[in-house]
Amino acid sequence: MNTPVETPWMKLQGINFSRSGRTILSDISLQFGRRELTLLTGHNGSGKTTLLRILAGLLKPDSAALELDGNRLTGGWLRNRGILRANSCYLHQQPYLFDATVFDNVAYGLRRRGLNSSAIEHLVGEALEATALSHLRRRRCGELSGGEKQRVAMLRAWVLAPRLLLLDEPVANMDKPSRSKCLALINQMQCDNIAVVLTSHDPQQGELQISRHLHLYQGRMVSKGSSKNSPDDNSRDEIE
C-alpha cells in the first residue's frame, strides 16, 4: 500500500562514506517528511546499516550536506551530528533492553529527559494501552518473546517523539504472528507524524503503508523499478 509523500522537513545530500579505501556509499541523497515510511532494501554488504548509522548521527560520513526545515545547516559534523541525534532514534535488529520491567524499559528515555513521575506514568501507560501491550506492563523483559522485545524497543523510541525513526531489519527471523504485530506498530507510529526508515532484505512488505521504496546497490541508490534490473550481489561488508 502506498501513501502520499509529505513535504520534506529534512534533506541529506551527497552522502559519501568509505573505509580502508573501499567506497561503501557514493553520492546518496535522501529526504523525509512527516507520516512517511521509506523502505530501504539491498543485499548484505550494500551499506544499509551504514546509512542508518549516518542518519542517526552515529557514524561520520566523508561528506554530506544537511537541510532541516528548509534551512541549510553549516558548522561541520559535530554540530550536525547533534542535530541528527536530537531528531532521530535508531533501533538495531537486536535492540538492547534492560533487565527490568516493560514499563521501566519504555520509561527509560523519559526519565533521562527529567520528566516527573506523573507525566511518565501518563505517557507510558497511554502508549502501552494504544499498542495493546498493557498486559506486559510488569513483565520483566527477559521473559518476553523476540517479537515482544522488538515491540517494547520500538515503543521506548516512540514515547520520545522522534521526528525520524530508523529501524534496522526490525522483523527479521520472526514468525508470521509476531511479524504482523510489529508491522502494525510501525504503521501506527508512522501515523503519529513520525518519518520511518526501515531496512529489509525482503522487498515484499505488503502490510506496511510505504511512501517510497529505495534500493542500495554497490553503494549507490536506485529506485524500486531500477532495483529489479540489478544483478545479484553476494558480497559481504564488515561494516554491516
Instruction: Record the pTM.
Output: 0.85
- pLDDT reading at 232 higher than 90: no
Q: Which pLDDT score, from 0 to 100, does residue 172 have?
A: 87
Which CATH number do you get for residue 54?
3.40.50.300
| Span 21-34, average pLDDT | 94
- Judged by average pLDDT, the poorest of 6-10, 24-28, 31-35 is 6-10
pLDDT at 91: 94
Of the listed ranges 49-53, 124-128, 170-174, the least confidently predicted one is 170-174
Which structural domain, as residue segments, surrounds residue 194?
A: 8-227
Residue 2 lies in a domain: no
Residue 201 has pLDDT above 70, yes or no: yes
Summary mean pLDDT of the chain: 87
Q: SS in 3 state form for the chain?
A: CECCCCCEEEEEEEEEEEECCEEEEEEEEEEEECCCEEEEECCCCCCHHHHHHHHCCCCCCCEEEEEECCEECCCHHHHHHHHHHHHEEEECCCCCCCCCEHHHHHHHHHHHCCCCHHHHHHHHHHHHHHCCCHHHCCCEHHHCCHHHHHHHHHHHHHCCCCCEEEEECCCCCCCHHHHHHHHHHHHHHHCCCCEEEEEECCCCCCCCCECEEEEEECCEEEEHHHHCCCCCCCCCCCCC
- Report pLDDT for 88: 95
Domain contains 235: no
Asked if residue 237 is part of any domain, the answer here is no
- Tell me what pLDDT residue 5 has: 52
User: What is the tally of structural domains in the chain?
Assistant: 1
Residue 198 in any domain: the answer is yes
